[in-house]
Amino acid sequence: MPDPSPSTPVEHDGLPDVIRRYLTAHNAGDASASAALMTTDAQVTDDGKTYDGLPAIERWLDRAASEYSYTTTWLGAAQHGPDRWTVTQRLDGDFPGGTVDLRYDFTLSGRLISRLVIAP
């Protein structure tokens, strides 16, 4: 049976502007710039916890920005439909384990992010 939502690999420059801007802000630890790229009713799931709406997402971003120091390495990206994208990055830092490859699954609503799931 064929995959109902085939993926198309994309380079960093082929990502929507809002995703590129989010990754830049998030990787720099800029919580307010990251939050500004999300819808007011956005939902983020990270480390098994879900954060609904901008106030909860802003608290998560503030905590995430200050909890650990890390660097990121671009591993790749794919488009799964007109509004769905996945970016994979390697994080190296002072968190438990020291290195992890994470998938960032984005759903867009217009020019903003409405859903983000971050998982290994």
Q: Residue 3 falls within a domain, yes or no?
A: no
pLDDT at 64: 81
In a domain? residue 58: yes
**CATH number (domain holding residue 84):** 3.10.450.50
What's the pLDDT score for residue 29?
86
What does 15-83 look like in DSSP terms, one character per residue?
A: S-HHHHHHHHHHHTT-HHHHHTTEEEEEEEEETTEEEEHHHHHHHHHHHHHHH--EEEEEEEEEEEETT
84 is a domain residue: yes
Residue 1 lies in a domain: no
Would you call 73 exposed, middle or buried from its count of C-beta atoms within 10 A (0-12, 13-18, 19+)?
exposed
Query: Using an 8 Å Cβ cutoff, are 115 and 41 in contact?
Result: no
What per-residue confidence (pLDDT) applies to 9?
Answer: 95
In a domain, 69, yes or no: yes
| Number of structural domains in the chain | 1
Q: Which residues, given as ranges, of the chain have pLDDT below 50?
A: 1-3
The total of other beta-carbon atoms located within 10 Å of residue 38's CB is 23
Q: What pTM was estimated for this model as a whole?
A: 0.91
Range of the domain at 63: 8-119
| Amino acid 2: pLDDT | 46
Residue 2 lies in a domain: no
Instruction: Give the pLDDT confidence score for residue 5 in this predicted structure.
Output: 58
